[in-house]
Structure 1
Amino acid sequence: MSTLCKPSVSVPEQVITMEETLDFAARVHAGKPQLPLALRLIRNTGVLKRHIVQPIEETLRHPGLEARNRVYEIESKKRCPAVIESALRNAGVGVGDIDAIIYVSCTGFLMPSLTAWLINAMGFRSGTRQIPIAQLGCAAGAAAINRAHDFCLAYPEANVLIVSCELCSLCYQPTDDGVGSLLSDGLFGDAVAAAVVRGSGGTGISLERNGSYLIPHTEDWISYAVRSTGFHFQLDRRVPGTMEPLAPVLRELVTAHGWDVGNLDYYIIHAGGPRILSDLSKYLGVDLAMFRHSWATLTEYGNIASAVVFDALRRLFDEDTMLSGATGLVAGFGPGITAEMAVGSWTTDDFERDLLAATRAAATATTATATAATERAIV
């Protein structure tokens, strides 16, 4: 089975708080009849702060699509390599071990894909497969995990690198004042994430089954209108209610695997907004506390699109509470309305487990020795 290893995640240095978001929204869109509703919705997102690649003054200006896309290119090339190097270290592999790179982003456009630049700039093999995914929005992170799993099923010894680069702030449109657009202005943040799926070995989620589902006739509920000024985000008011029809799909996938969806050990869920998590808690019969990693991502970073699942998973690794065999679910939701889902159990690489045990034992012994020395000195 392929293993999804610990992700690496980085957010930009510029920070905007909830209070600053409400202030600029009230100032820029003053007098618009839908503003009070939008401000109330932004307050209810639970997002305390977000990180963006440019100062807010520059973000609020619109220099044109060409200039914005140039910023996307510069920032993605500046930020991705360090995150990738960290993800490779987390997985215990090097650039020469990667057989495919899946690059996901819905916030800028490059052709060739950034994968070509990464292969040349970072020394990946020229035979590395390139799999860019550009139009699945927030669902693309989970979709990339599923396609990496599929690749490793076809090539059992392969390793797949996933890179998510979402610079959502570059899609801000100052003239858009619909409720959906205003809400997105207070919800989305910027982030870069990377993770490796190993065909064999590694510590993390052993990917065992995946699935996709499209809610019929909802393709215009989340969309981009592509205009001369770039991507204009469009959000239908019915989107927050989509967990009711999707929850049975998640349940069916987990049940088909022989597990109980309400009694798993971990849940890595795309937190597009607070209602997604509260509704899934209700419809799946899961304690809301089980979504704590997704909540933390939403609170601290906002909706970082396809990178959400990787940040939530990183937090699960950092918590260091998973035992081998622990069962879990990964799910992302996006335009379509599309759900990408995977189930898997926690696995620990034998070498890594033994190394960790030895490290902890050495640390305990060192502490005991130091304590004994201190006690002798006191006596």
Structure 2
Amino acid sequence: MSLPAPVLCRPAISVPEHVITLEQTLDLARRRHAGHPMLDLALRLITNTGVATRHLVQPLEATLHHPGFTERNAVYAREAKALVPQTVRRALAHARLGPEDIDLIVYVSCTGFMMPSLTAWLINTMGFRAQTRQLPIAQLGCAAGGAAVNRAHDFCTAYPGANVLIVACEFCSLSYQPTDLAVGNLLSNGLFGDAVAAAVVRGSGGRGVRLRHNGSHLVAGTEDWISYDVRDTGFHFVLDKRVPGTMARLAPAMVQMAAPYGWDLSNLAFYIVHAGGPRILDDLATHLRVPAAMFRHSRATLTERGNIASAVVFDALDRFFADGGGEQEAAPGLIAGFGPGITAEIALGTWTDGRDGAYGTTTRRPAVAATRAPAS
């Protein structure tokens, strides 16, 4: 008898209290870069993102001030410790599990650096077992949300019945560089926002997306299209103008990944994808031959939060849950994250309402056994 596939439960999302609107963003760009020869282009690009509001981890005045990478990274660590625990607690509550039930924590972030990872601090302060495994992912950028889901799926497949906590912590505003005047950087100043997300993948039971298959695809020759220049002043975001057109190459790869499993990506019940910008969503709808409305949850995230990097897929997934989730049991859907590389991380899953009898009870069980090397 085969075991049920693991279930990605409802995420929890937290955003900082400070908000900047599109109008404020455009006004700032006009005042701070009045003599820029490509200001009109930058303003047009920012307007076309469709981002109406974004949340910032610091007040606007502090965000615009650059005290140096050391102080900014200290802000990252401080604010992560302030926002992540409450988000984790809500995600655990959605999954009806406690910290002691988690076997692996996957922590994804590309906007700050800590060593040891925040996972160590979480284990020490929130009641997770000392045996909880840690998997920090720092260099996949926006694709890391999808990668976290897929690595959680892999772990639960390798260790049936295990539970995985995913945490995405992105404070993109800490990468604001006031002296970097490249058009791609000016665009990023009006596109990216801050957020924290957490979600649990249950090895058994649970209401949400039952993870069936996953895959990854790297578009050759695009390594420098999305990247960081790491300088004394911190992370400088580099964005190539060809990035918005990548769906023409990624969509066919996604179709090919799904084909061996008999999945038709043009006929799914839900689509939870990374909203890097409106053209990404428009082109994906065109190439997959699906109505643009199928990406409404991702588009709402882009409009209300901006591009929140690895947290996008979880924010869009939370909106899907808030909208009632899947309309029927076993309805098929797609989760996909896109980011540097150019990389796509793709998951295929089916909706489950959690009526299999296991959901609603928390089983306290011993930790997943450590892997032993074969006897010589």
Instruction: Compute the TM-score of the two structures, normalised by the length of structure 2.
Output: 0.93
Match among 239, 243, 250 for residue 246 of structure 1: 250
- Cα separation, partners in 2 of 1:266 and 1:231, compared to 1, 3 Å: same
Contact 1:103–1:115 at 8 Å: present in 2 too?
yes
Q: CA deviation at 1:351?
A: 6.3
Structure 2, unpaired ranges of 5+: 361-376
CA distance in 2, matches of 1:178, 1:218: 19
Q: Which residue of 2 aligns with 1:369?
A: none
Query: How many Å separate the matches in 2 of 1:303 and 1:176?
Result: 20
Secondary structure at the aligned position of 2:266 is classed as helix
Which of 94, 98, 110 is equivalent to 1:94?
A: 98
Picking from 117, 125, 128, the partner of 1:124 is 128
Which residue, out of 322, 327, 336, partners 1:331? 336
CA distance in 2 between partners of 1:128 and 1:60 (Å): 39
| 3-state SS of 2:43 partner | helix
Deviation, 1:353, is 10
Distance 1:64 1:274 in 2: 32
Correspondence for 1:158: 162
Could you tell me which of 32, 48, 51 is aligned with 1:47? 51
SS of alignment partner, residue 346 of structure 1: strand
| Structure ID, larger Rg | 1
RMSD value over aligned CA atoms?
Answer: 1.2
Whether the aligned pair in 1 keeps the contact of 2:205 and 2:359 (CA below 8 Å) is: no
Q: How is 1:1-379 mapped onto 2 (pairs within 5 angstroms)?
A: 1-322=5-326, 323-350=328-355
Q: Describe the superposition over 1:206-245 as per-residue Cα deviations: whole angstroms up to 9, x where unpaired.
A: 1010000101111111000000000000011111110000
Alignment deviations for residues 5-35 of structure 1 (CA, whole Å, 9 cap, x no partner): 0000011100000000001111111201111
Number of aligned residue pairs = 355
Opposite residue 35 of structure 1, the aligned amino acid is: L
**Unaligned runs of at least 5 residues, structure 1:** 356-379
SS of 1:139's equivalent in the other structure is: helix
> Deviation of residue 354 (structure 1)?
9.6
Aligned-residue identity in percent: 66
Matched letter for residue 109 of structure 2: S
- Report if aligned partners of 1:325, 1:347 keep a CA contact under 8 Å in 2: yes
Of Structure 1 and Structure 2, which has the larger fraction of its residues in helix? 1
Aligned equivalents of 2:358 and 2:273: distance in 1? Answer: 27
Distance across 2 between alignment mates of 1:176 and 1:35: 13
Distance 1:175 1:73 in 2: 24
Could you state the TM-score of these two structures normalised by the residue count of structure 1? 0.92
Q: Give the match's secondary structure for 1:127.
A: coil
Contact 2:7 2:204 survives alignment (8 Å): yes
> Which range is displaced more, 124-133 or 257-266?
257-266
